[in-house]
Structure 1
Amino acid sequence: MSENESSWWSTFTTWPRAVRISTFLVLGLVLVLVAGVATAVVLVRRPLPQTEGERALPGLVSDVTVLRDEHGIPHLYGDSDDDLLRAQGYVHAQERFYEMDVRRHVTAGRLAELFGESALETDKYIRTMGWRRVAQQELGLLSGDTRRALDAYAAGVNAYLSQHSTSRIAVEYTLLGLTGLDYTPARWTAVDSLAWLKAMAWDLRGNMDEEIDRVVASVGNDQETVDLLHPPYDEQRHAPIVAGGTVADGEFETGDTVGASPEAAQVLAQVQQGLEAVPAMLGRGDGLGSNSWVVSGERSATGKPLLANDPHLGVSMPGIWMQVGLHCRTRTPDCTLDVSGFSFSGLPGVVIGHNADIAWGFTNLGPDVTDLYLEKVDGDTWTYGGKQRPLRVRTEVIEVRDADDFVLKVRETRHGPLISDVSQDASSVGANAAAEDREQGRESPPGGYAVSLAWTALDPSPTADAILQMNRASSWPEFRAAASKFAVPAQNLVYADTEGNIGYQAPGRVPIRQRGHDGSRPAAGWLPRNDWTGEFVPFDALPSVLNPEEGFVVTANQAVVGRDYPFHLTDDWDHGFRSERIRTLIESKEKLTVDDMVEMQTDEHNAMGPILVPYLLDLDGFESAYQREGLDLLRDWDFQDSADSEAAAYFNVLWANLLRLAFHDDLLPRIHPTGGDRWFTVVDALLDDPAHRLWDDRTTEEVREVRDDVLRQAVIDARDEMTRRQSVRPSEWSWGRLHRLDLVNQTLGTSGIGVVERLLNRTGHRIGGGSSVVNATGWDASDDYTVTSAPSMRMVVSLADLDDSRWINLTGVSGHPASGHYVDQTELFVAGATLPWRSSRDAVERAAEQTLVLTPRG
C-alpha cells in the first residue's frame, strides 16, 4: 500500500467533522455516577463476552470449540466450513459488533441515522457513489460457495444479536442511549460484509488526490514547477518490484487532461475538500503504505522461505485487524479450512496470513483506477460529443436523527456520479467560474463545471470470491487462480509455500485508457477521446514472478515494473525509500532468521537524513551557539528516528519548518507538503539547484532568498520550536515526546466529553519511526508530529515451522474498553516486540487459557 495511496485495508481515523454527543449525555453520565460507581462499572463491563463454558449457536451441525490464549486470540475448531464461518461471525460479534455496525452505516450512507446532521455530508457522498447499491449487485456475481460462506457468517452474527440486548452488545450503545437514541441493531446480511470491500477500495483507490493536486498546484506556478513538485519515479535509484518484464502473447514475461485554469482548480479544490467528509476507513495521507517481503530458503537460516508483512493504515481504537484461526479437526470435502491470520470484523475468513501450506501478504499496488472528469452540465443534461445528453438521475432519501429526512438527487454521466453535486461550495464556484468565463468572452458551460468520478469499484465484481479461495489454496497455481478474482482494491501479493517457493503477483482491475489520456489530471468529459476503452489489463499480463533469481521479493508500494511494460498502471508510485532500505537490509546478511525479519520491520532509518544533513552542517552565519546547538546533535546522528533520540526530534522539526519555509508561499493550503516520500524526492532535487525560484519567499518582494537562506532559517526556527515544546537543553529532547501514538475510538472518542474519551481512548504512546521509514509511523508536516498512520499489524511467517512465526496487533482483539484485550498488544507493539504465532493444534492447546464450546443444542 503506498504512501500516495489513500491504502490496504479499517479503522475510522480522521473524521472530517467530529461526531459529537449532545449535552444530554453529560447529564446522563452524572446521574449514573451519582447512582454509584459500581453501577457505572457494571454498565461498562456488561458487554464483555462469554469466553468459557458452553453457549448455544443455532444452525451448527456439530460443536465448535473456541480456544483463547493469554491475549484473547481465538482459534476455532470445527467439522465443516459452514460451522467454522458461522462461529467466526459469532466470535466477531462478541468482540467487535459496534465497530461492524458503524462500518455498515458508513458504507450504506446511513451514519446520520445514528449521529444526526453532523454526519449528513458523509452520507451524501457515499449515497452519491452508491457503495451499497454496488455491493447488492455483486452478491449475484459470487460463487455459490462464497454466498454460503457469507450467509453462514451472517447467521452467526445474528445469533449473537438475538441472544443479547443492545446494552450487552457494546458500551457505546449505552452511551448513545443516554442521548435519547432509541436503537436496536438490524440483522446482519451478506451485503453488509460485501459493502465493506467498497470502503477498502475507496481508501486504496490510487492517484485521485494527485490528479487534483496537480491542477491546484498550477495556480501561480508554471508547468515546469508543477512537474518538479510531482517528480517521476526513479527506477535507477529504487528498484521496481519485478526486475524487467514485458508482455508476450498476452502473458507477462520477466526479464531478470484539462488545462489548469484557475476556475477548474477552484472547482477541484472544493471537490477535494468535500471528499474529506468521507471517513478514512483505513486512514488518509502520505503516511499510508505497507511493507511486505519474502526471502527464499537459500537466503533463510531455516532453509525454507520467510515472509513478512505490515500494512500501514490509519490509527484508531479498536485497530483494524482481529487475529483469528479457523481450523478443521479433520480435512474433508466439507471442511477445508486450516488458516490463521488477520481478519476484518464483518468479513468471513482470513485476509492476510497462512494456512498449512502457503503464506501470503498484501501491500497496495496503487494503480490508477480512478479518473475525474470536468463536465459541462446544464440542468439535467450534459455535453458529450458535441451534443446535449440526459443525465442519469436517481433519488436517495437519507434519514437524519432529530431532523427531517434529506432527499438527495444523484446525477450521473457515462463516466460516473457527479460528486460535485454534494458540495455546495463546488457548485457555486463552478457557476461563478462559468460566469467569469462568459464575462471574459471565453466558452463556458451554461450551468457551470461539474465533476464526475470514474472508478473501477463502482462496477460490480466478484472480489469476495478471492478471499476464501486464498484461504484454501495449497500451491502457486491455486493462489494465482484466487488472485485472479481480486478486482478491487488492486494489491501487491507476496507468496511463499512449505515446498520452498516464493512469488509475487499483481492482481486487480486496471483500466486501459485511450492514447493521449494517462489519468494524471482531470479530463474534459465532453470529449469522447478521454473515455476509458472499456477494457482492463488482462490478469495474465499483470506483473508476476515465481522464484526470482535474486532470492527475494520486496514490495513497499514502489513501482511494480519498469517503463518498458506496455500497459500504463500509474505514474504515482511511492518513491521507493522504504523498499530500497528493505533491500539493503536483506542484502546485508547472508542468512536471515525470524528475529532478523522482525527487527527489520522496526528499522527507523530516515532516508532524508543522509541527503539533507551534509548541507545543514555546511551552513554558516549563525549569531550564537544557541542557534547551532541543534546542528551539533546531527553530527553524530545515526539517522534512526528512535523514540528516545534528541537528534531525530530536532531533525524532524527542522524538516517540517523547511517545508513550510520553502513551499507554503508557493502552494494553496490544501496542498501544503505533508513530508512523505514525494517531498523527499522534491527537496533532494532542489538541494542541487540553490537558486531555484521555489527557494524564494514570494512574500518578500524586495529580497530573493536562495537555498542556504531557507536552510539557515529552518535551523533557527527548529531550535526555537524545540525550546518551546520541550526544553532549552537539547539533552532533554526526544522524538517520542513529539511523535505520539493516540488511539481514538472511531466515533464517540471525539465527543469532547472527558469521561467518555477517557473510557474509550488510549493516548500518549511515545513511538519512534516516521514517514517513509520502514517503521512507518506517519505524521503530517503541515499539521503536527502526532502519528496519523502506523503499521496496523506485523507478522513474520516461517515456512519451515509455522509455530515459529510471529505476529502482533496495533491494539488487541477486543473492541470493549473494559476488556483486558482492548490494548494488551499496544505496549508490545510500540516497543517493537511480537507474540508467538501458534497455529498447530498442539501449540494452540498448550497456550489456551479459556475454552468456549459453541453447540447446536439450545
Structure 2
Amino acid sequence: MPANTTAPSGTTGSAGGKTGRKKGRRARLIVIVLVLALVAGIGYGAFWSVSTVRASYPQTTGTIKLDGLDGDVEVKRDAYGVPQLYADSDADLFRAQGFVHAQDRFWEMDVRRHMTAGRLSEMFGSGQVDTDAFLRTLGWRKVAQEEYDTVLSPETKKNLQAYADGVNAYLKGRDGKDISVEYAALGLTNDYKPGEWTPVDSVAWLKAMAWDLRGNMQDEIDRSLMASRLDKKQIADLYPAYPYDDHKPIVSEGAISPVTGKYDPDATPSSSGLGSDTPQGATEGLNTQLASLSDTLDEIPALLGPNGNGIGSNSWVVSGKYTTTGKPLLANDPHLAPMLPSLWYQMGLHCREVSAKCRYDTAGYTFSGMPGVIIGHNADIAWGFTNLGADVTDLFLEKVSDDGYLYDGKIKPFTVRTETIKVAGGKSRTITIRETEHGPLVSDRSSEMEKVGQKAPVTGTAPDRAAGYGVSLRWTALDAGHSMDAVFELNRAKDFPSFRKAAEHFEVPSQNLIYADTKGHIGYQAPGRIPVRKSGDGTMPSPGWSSKYGWKEEAVPFDELPYELDPKRGYIVTANQAVVDEKKYPHLLTKDWGYGTRSQRINDLIESKIKGGGKISTEDMQKMQMDNTSAIATLLVPELTKIDIGDKNVREAQKLLEGWRYTQESDSAAAAYFNAVWRNILKLAFGNKLPKELRVEGECLNVRRADSSGPIDERHKLVRECGQRAPDAAQPDGGDRWYQVVTNLLKDENNDWWKTPKSGRDEATETRDELFARAMKDARWELTAKLGKDMSTWSWGRLHQLNLENQTLGKEGPGVLKQLLNRGPWNLGGGEAAVNATGWNAAGGYDVVWVPSMRMVVNVGDWDKSRWINLTGASGHAFAAHYTDQTDKWANGELLDWSFGTNAVAESTTDILTLKP
C-alpha cells in the first residue's frame, strides 16, 4: 500500500450533519481501537472473545463446502500455517488456491486490486485521488483487460476464472468485519464493502510488479536535471561505465551466431557497435517539467521497493559436480520493500495424480491475488528470479497544444479517453487522459505542469493542459502480453527447452531466470520484451516531435537474448549485474545495470570454495545468503585509518576501524561508525553539488558540532544537521553505483569532487583526505547524538532497524491502530550492496528500506531437504499466530524445512481442512 495513504475519510452531507457523523464515527473508531488494545494487552491473542478480531480468522480444520468443486480438495497446513493443496483437477486446484489466499490475505488482495485499477479513493477517500489519476493515466487495468480478452491462452483464462471463483466462494455471505479487522475499522468511516474478484484483478497485478521493476526511468530524469548544473564529464563521473574487468557479467560465454542468427552459448562474440547517446540538448529548458514528473513518481505506490530504487535480488545455482549432494543446489532471495504481511505467500499445489486433467505438482512462493507459483520448483525443475533491469521505459518530451502534439512538423490529435474516479465520502472526479504516438501524457497528472507553457485558461471538468510542453511515457508493459501464460508454463516445465519456452512468454517485467533440474543440468535465460530504439540509448528523455526517435516495431528477438546451459565454470550467479558485456553483444539491454558488487562477492565465495577443493552444501548456500561484508569498507577503511586525526574523540572512533574485518554484524560498533562515515563522505563530496531539483527528502539529524574548548559535554552543541547543509541539496542514496563512483575517484586525491567550501567552524577541504577527515568528525558527532557518547554501547543494529508496517492503516491510520497492526523494530546486520542486502538509503538515515523478502535453498532432486523462510508469515490477520511467526528466524538467518513429497507433507501437517463440492 502506498506510503501516502490517508486515514479513511468521513462521509459528506450538510455541514452540521457531516460534523456530527464524523464525530460519531471517530468515537466508534476509538471504541474499536480500545477493544483491540485490550485484546493486544493480554498477550496479542491470548483471549479472542472480541468478534471484530476473531471473526476473520480462517477455518483450518474440518470441512467446508465450496461451490464449483468437482471433487474434494485437502488443505494441509504445517506448524507455520503454510498450506499444501491436493486436488484431482486443475480447476479444483486453482479454485482452492483462490479460496485459501482469500482466507489469509483478502485485505491485501483487495487493496492491491484497487491500486492497480486506480480505485484507491473508493476505499480511502480523497487523499488518494491524485494517485488514482496517475494510475488511470498509465492504464494498468485497461491493458490487463485487453490481455485477458485478446492475448492469453484459453487454458490460462480457465485457471484465472477458477481462481476468481474460489476467492468469491470465500467472500460469499461474509461482511467486511468477517474478512479482516481492517474492514471493521474502515467500515466505521465510509461503509466500504468489498466486491467480487475477477480474473482481470489477477492479471493487473503483473502491471504493478512491472512498474516497480521498470528500469531506469528515474535515472533518465536525473541525468537530464544534472545537465543544468554539471558538465558532461561530471555526469559521467556520477554514472560510470559498468566495470566488466572487475565484476563478471552473468553470461561470459557465447554470442549471436552469424550462421543461425540466434544466441549460441558456443559462438565467439565480436564487437557490437551500439547506438549513440540521446542528444542532451533535447531536454534543455525543460527542467521544470522533468522535476515535476519526478515528484509525481515519488507519490505513486511502490509495492515491491522504494519507488524502484535499490530493488535487487540474489540468485545462484551450482552444478552437482561441486555440491555435497551430487545434484544442483539453487538459491534465491529477492530484495523488496519490507511490508506486513510479506509480499510472498508460501504454498504447495499438488495434483494427487499428474495427468492431462490435473497437470501440476509444484511448490514455492506465490502472490496472493494470483494463481500459480511464481518462484519455486516442481517435481522436475527448480527456478529463481532476479531483476534483469532492462531499459523498457523511455520518456519523450512533447510539444503540445490544445489541438494535439507536434510530430514531424505536423500537429497530430491526441488519443483521448475520460475516466471517473469515485471517492469515498466525497464527490467523484472526472479526468481526461491524453495519449501521443509514444504513450500516455504522464505530465498531465502533475499540478506543476499546469503552470508551464500556458496560453489560455483551462476549461471544463478535465485537467487538460494548454499549449506548452509535456512528457509522455513509452513502456513495454502498456502493450498486451503473455506473462500470465508464462507463470503456468513455468509451473509445468519439465526440462530446459520447456523452461525456455515459458521464459519466451515472460515479457514483462524482464527477469533473470536461473534453472536446475533433476538430471543435473543448470541454466540461465534472459527473457523479456526489450525495445529496439531507432536512435539514442535511452539514458536521457528523447524529443517526441521527431520520428528519428522512438522504438522500432519489433523488440529484441527472444532467440537473440543471452542464455547458458551447463557452463564450464559449473555455476551461474545473477544479482542484477550486467547480463553480458555490451562490447560483445549487438543489442542494447540497458546502460544502467546494477554495478555488480553483490554478484562479484557471490562469485568470489563460490570460487573460493571450489578452488579450495571443497564441495558446497545446503548450509554453505545458506551462509552465503547471510554474508554481510561491506565492499566499500574494504576499499575505504585502509585509507581512513592512515589519516592523522588530532581530535581525541574522533581518534577514539577511528580506532574502531583498525582491525575490523569489514563485516556488518548487528552488534558491531565499527560497522555503525563506518556506515556513518560513508554517509557523510557522500554528503560532503556530492550532496551539495547536485541540482536542487534532485533533492531527496531525508531526515534532519540532531548532530553535535565541535566547539574549540571546554569539556566534552559542553563543547559539542546539538544542531539540526539539515541547517548546516544547503536545504535544497540532493543527497546520494549510497547504493553500489556510488561505490563505483568513489572507486573511480579514489586514487585522484585532488579531484574537484573532494573540494568543499568552508561551512561554519569547518574549514574548506581541498583533498580527499581532508574531506575524509571531516567526514570522520561529522560521523563521530552524529553517532554521539544518536547512540550516546560511550562508544562501547554503539552497534550497527541500533542504527539499522527493521520496522514492519501494515501496508494501509499501519502507515497512515490512527496512532494507536498503527501500534496494534505494526511490528518491530528488529536490529539487523547486513547492509547496502552486501549479499545480506538489508538496504538503507543514505539520503534518509540508516533504517532498513529493502530486505531479502524471502530466502530459499533448493536441494534439487531431494526436494524434502530444501529450505525456505518468509519475511513475516502466512497470515495477513493482525494478532493471528502466523502474522510474523517467521520473522525472528528470518532476522537470524535461519531457514525452515520445506516439505514437498506426500510423506514429508504428511509428517509436517498440523491442520487438515477438506473442501467439498
Please, what TM-score do these two structures have when normalized by structure 2? 0.88
Q: Does 1:148 align with 2:158?
A: yes
Deviation, structure 1 residue 430: 5.3
Query: Which of residues 249, 264, 276 in structure 1 aligns to 2:298?
Result: 276
Tell me the residue number matched to 2:852. Answer: 791
Deviation, structure 1 residue 282: 0.6
1:491-570 correspondence to structure 2 within 5 Å: 491-514=511-534, 516-563=535-582, 564-570=584-590
Deviation, structure 1 residue 699: 7.0
Deviation, structure 1 residue 693: 1.8
Deviation, structure 1 residue 247: 1.1
Deviation, structure 1 residue 806: 0.3
Structure-2 separation of matches of 1:728 and 1:718: 12
1:432-831 correspondence to structure 2 within 5 Å: 447-514=467-534, 516-563=535-582, 564-589=584-609, 590-620=614-644, 622-667=645-690, 668=692, 669-670=695-696, 671-697=730-756, 703=764, 705-831=766-892
1:153-172 correspondence to structure 2 within 5 Å: 153-172=163-182
Deviations 1:544-574 (A, max 9, x none): 0100000000000000001210100001000
Q: 1:34 to 1:289 in 2, by over 3 A?
A: closer
Structure-2 separation of matches of 1:223 and 1:550: 39
Structure-1 separation of matches of 2:863 and 2:639: 48
Q: Do the aligned residues in 1 keep the contact of 2:156 with 2:485 (CA within 8 Å)?
A: yes
Structure-1 separation of matches of 2:403 and 2:206: 31
Tell me the residue number matched to 1:313. Answer: 336
* Higher mean displacement: 26-35 or 303-312: 26-35
Q: Does 1:195 align with 2:183?
A: no
Q: Do the aligned residues in 2 keep the contact of 1:559 with 1:574 (CA within 8 Å)?
A: yes
Q: 1:67 to 1:625 in 2, by over 3 A?
A: same
Tell me the residue number matched to 2:3. Answer: 15
Structure-2 separation of matches of 1:580 and 1:659: 23
Q: Do the aligned residues in 1 keep the contact of 2:804 with 2:824 (CA within 8 Å)?
A: yes
Q: Do the aligned residues in 2 keep the contact of 1:64 with 1:83 (CA within 8 Å)?
A: yes
Tell me the residue number matched to 1:89. Answer: 98
Q: 1:20 to 1:182 in 2, by over 3 A?
A: closer
Structure-1 separation of matches of 2:685 and 2:49: 53
Deviation, structure 1 residue 183: 2.0
* Higher mean displacement: 371-380 or 546-555: 371-380
Tell me the residue number matched to 2:192. Answer: 183
3-state secondary structure, aligned to 2:825: strand
Tell me the residue number matched to 1:376. Answer: 399
Q: Do the aligned residues in 1 keep the contact of 2:32 with 2:185 (CA within 8 Å)?
A: no
Structure-2 separation of matches of 1:506 and 1:233: 18
The total of aligned residue pairs comes to 829
Query: Which of residues 408, 432, 444 in structure 2 aligns to 1:421?
Result: 444
Deviation, structure 1 residue 258: 4.7
Query: Which of residues 130, 136, 159 in structure 1 aligns to 2:139?
Result: 130
Q: Does 1:48 align with 2:57?
A: yes
Deviations 1:672-699 (A, max 9, x none): 2000010000111122222222222257
Please, what TM-score do these two structures have when normalized by structure 1? 0.94
Structure-2 separation of matches of 1:202 and 1:333: 36
Deviation, structure 1 residue 661: 1.1
Structure-2 separation of matches of 1:637 and 1:665: 31
Q: 1:237 to 1:162 in 2, by over 3 A?
A: same
Matched residue type, 2:3: W
Structure-2 separation of matches of 1:655 and 1:769: 15
Structure-2 separation of matches of 1:489 and 1:839: 28
Structure-2 separation of matches of 1:714 and 1:124: 43
Q: Do the aligned residues in 2 keep the contact of 1:245 with 1:562 (CA within 8 Å)?
A: no
Deviations 1:63-100 (A, max 9, x none): 00000000000000111111110000000000000000
Deviation, structure 1 residue 242: 0.3
Q: Do the aligned residues in 1 keep the contact of 2:125 with 2:424 (CA within 8 Å)?
A: yes
Tell me the residue number matched to 1:79. Answer: 88
Tell me the residue number matched to 1:9. Answer: none
Query: Which of residues 98, 118, 136 in structure 2 aligns to 1:109?
Result: 118
3-state secondary structure, aligned to 1:588: helix
Tell me the residue number matched to 2:280. Answer: 259
Structure-1 separation of matches of 2:548 and 2:485: 34
Structure-2 separation of matches of 1:135 and 1:446: 31
Q: Does 1:290 align with 2:310?
A: no
Aligned-residue RMSD, C-alpha:
1.8
Q: 1:286 to 1:110 in 2, by over 3 A?
A: closer
Deviations 1:403-428 (A, max 9, x none): 21111111111100000000011342
3-state secondary structure, aligned to 1:519: coil
Tell me the residue number matched to 2:716. Answer: none
Deviation, structure 1 residue 343: 0.1
Tell me the residue number matched to 1:442. Answer: none
Structure-1 separation of matches of 2:519 and 2:490: 17
Q: 1:17 to 1:266 in 2, by over 3 A?
A: farther
Deviation, structure 1 residue 275: 1.3
Deviation, structure 1 residue 287: 2.9
Deviation, structure 1 residue 752: 4.8
Matched residue type, 1:178: L
Structure-1 separation of matches of 2:453 and 2:339: 36
> Which ranges in structure 1 are unaligned for 5 or more consecutive residues?
1-11, 433-444
Deviations 1:739-784 (A, max 9, x none): 1111101110123523211221112111111111101111110001
Q: 1:19 to 1:32 in 2, by over 3 A?
A: closer
> Which ranges in structure 2 are unaligned for 5 or more consecutive residues?
11-21, 40-47, 269-277, 456-464, 697-729
Q: 1:455 to 1:141 in 2, by over 3 A?
A: same
Deviation, structure 1 residue 108: 0.3
Q: Which has the higher contact order (CA 8 A, sep 6+)?
A: 1
* Higher mean displacement: 725-734 or 543-552: 725-734
Q: 1:163 to 1:413 in 2, by over 3 A?
A: same
Q: Do the aligned residues in 2 keep the contact of 1:244 with 1:562 (CA within 8 Å)?
A: no
3-state secondary structure, aligned to 2:524: strand
Matched residue type, 1:186: G
3-state secondary structure, aligned to 1:570: coil
Q: Do the aligned residues in 1 keep the contact of 2:874 with 2:882 (CA within 8 Å)?
A: yes
Matched residue type, 1:174: A
Matched residue type, 1:48: Y
Structure-1 separation of matches of 2:754 and 2:404: 46
Deviations 1:200-242 (A, max 9, x none): 0000011111101111122211110001100110110000000
Q: Do the aligned residues in 2 keep the contact of 1:79 with 1:329 (CA within 8 Å)?
A: yes
Identity %, equivalent residues: 50
Structure-2 separation of matches of 1:705 and 1:426: 41
Deviation, structure 1 residue 624: 2.2
Tell me the residue number matched to 1:204. Answer: 213
Tell me the residue number matched to 2:721. Answer: none
Deviations 1:492-515 (A, max 9, x none): 00000000000000110001111x
